[in-house]
């Protein structure tokens, strides 16, 4: 096989190359053959370009499909909030004309996520937030309002940081003005911080009012991105637990808004947003 058939989707500007591997051996080939290189596929000059690659597989159990997600640096992630909306929009487009599905049960490395599709609006049950340090994972050993938290001092930046797990790790800061920081300077430092043994996604957040939070994102394995769905959930959880916001917030990201709904520790977080197909194509393997 010399070519890869793909489609390109984005959720709030967080963009993914989708490879439907349900009826082909492309994923097996990717695992066994070094020819298919995620970094090359995601390269914005020499490849297709993307923040990551999503493989759609047949589910292991009685669910709709399985999602495997890789960051643009080639590392595998457990879960992706914008990516799962892209995958659901892809499945909806794929089914169009034959039958319609309103609920998709998707297997991910962070468990089964259930997505409701309603006229282009997708609501995903993102699971319960993880606040137990070993499971995030983080080496932070102090907590504020049940969130692992400590003071971070790096490069003239001194702020209390909060760790929340969404299947993948997140470090959240609340600042007076997020436009003032250098994302490219601080992002990589915190992504690889020693308190996060598997690295972390980093979010610089600003509470606008109890219903609106602005966020700038530095993603583990992808760098500065226009949005992060799991991150939006993590920011909401930290803000809510600190008493800074209501149970439903609009998270304003550089690439657009997500609505996050959560208040009770026993409940799953609901993330609502959309996803768009940008193009489809064939990647030539050399």
29 or 188: CB nearest ligand LBFN2T5F: 188
Instruction: Name the one range near ligand LBFN2T5F by CB under 6 A: 79-87, 135-143, 150-158, 241-249.
Output: 79-87
Which of 42, 86, 150, 228 is labelled catalytic?
228
Distance, in Å, from the CA atom of 50 to the CA atom of 59, rounded to the nearest integer, reads 25
Q: Is 219 in the site for ligand LBFN2T5F (CB under 6 A)?
A: yes
Q: 97, exposed or middle or buried, with CB in 10 Å at 0-12, 13-18, 19+?
A: exposed
Query: Any binding-site annotation on 52?
Result: no
Distance, in Å, from the CA atom of 73 to the CA atom of 62, rounded to the nearest integer, reads 32
- Cα separations (Å) of 107 from 2, 85, 151, 187? 29, 13, 36, 30
Residues 6+ apart with CB under 8 A from 212: 249, 250, 252
Instruction: Name the one range near ligand LBFN2T5F by CB under 6 A: 30-38, 75-83, 137-145, 177-185.
Output: 75-83
Query: Any binding-site annotation on 14?
Result: yes
For residues 14 to 53, the per-residue mask of contacts with ligand LBFN2T5F, x marking binding by CB under 6 A and - elsewhere, is x---------------------------------------
Query: Any binding-site annotation on 179?
Result: no
Q: Is 54 in the site for ligand LBFN2T5F (CB under 6 A)?
A: no
Q: How far is the CB of 158 from ligand LBFN2T5F (least distance, A)?
A: 25
Distance, in Å, from the CA atom of 115 to the CA atom of 21, rounded to the nearest integer, reads 20
Q: Is 228 in the site for ligand LBFN2T5F (CB under 6 A)?
A: yes
Q: Is 201 in the site for ligand LBFN2T5F (CB under 6 A)?
A: yes
Q: Is 230 in the site for ligand LBFN2T5F (CB under 6 A)?
A: yes
Residues marked as catalytic? 80, 228
Binding residues for ligand LBFN2T5F, rule: CB under 6 A, are: 14, 71, 77, 80-83, 168, 201, 219-222, 228-231
């Amino acid at each position: 096989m010399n070519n890869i058939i793909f489609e390109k989707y984005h959720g709030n500007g967080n963009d993914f190359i989708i490879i439907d591997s349900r009826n082909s051996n492309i994923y097996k080939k990717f695992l066994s053959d070094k020819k298919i290189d995620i970094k090359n596929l995601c390269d914005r000059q020499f490849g297709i370009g993307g923040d990551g690659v999503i493989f759609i597989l047949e589910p292991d159990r009685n669910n709709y499909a399985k999602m495997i997600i890789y960051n643009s640096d080639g590392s595998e992630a457990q879960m992706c909030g914008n990516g799962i909306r892209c995958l659901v929009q892809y499945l909806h487009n794929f089914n169009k004309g034959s039958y319609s599905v309103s609920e998709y049960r998707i297997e991910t490395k962070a468990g089964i996520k259930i997505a409701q599709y309603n006229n282009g609006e997708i609501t995903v049950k993102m699971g319960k937030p993880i606040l137990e340090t070993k499971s995030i994972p983080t080496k932070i050993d102090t907590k504020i309002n049940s969130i692992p938290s400590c003071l971070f001092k790096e490069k003239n930046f001194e702020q209390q940081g909060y760790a929340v797990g969404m299947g993948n790790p997140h470090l959240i800061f609340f600042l007076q003005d997020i436009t003032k920081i250098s994302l490219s300077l601080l992002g990589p430092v915190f992504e690889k911080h020693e308190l996060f043994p598997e690295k972390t996604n980093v979010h610089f957040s600003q509470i606008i009012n109890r219903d609106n939070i602005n966020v700038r994102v530095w993603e583990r394995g992808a760098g500065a991105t226009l949005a992060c769905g799991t991150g939006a959930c993590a920011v909401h959880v930290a803000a809510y637990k600190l008493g800074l916001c209501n149970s439903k917030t609009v998270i304003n990201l550089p690439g657009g808004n997500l609505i996050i709904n959560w208040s009770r520790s026993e409940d799953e977080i609901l993330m609502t947003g959309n996803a768009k197909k940008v193009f489809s194509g064939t990647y030539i393997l050399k």
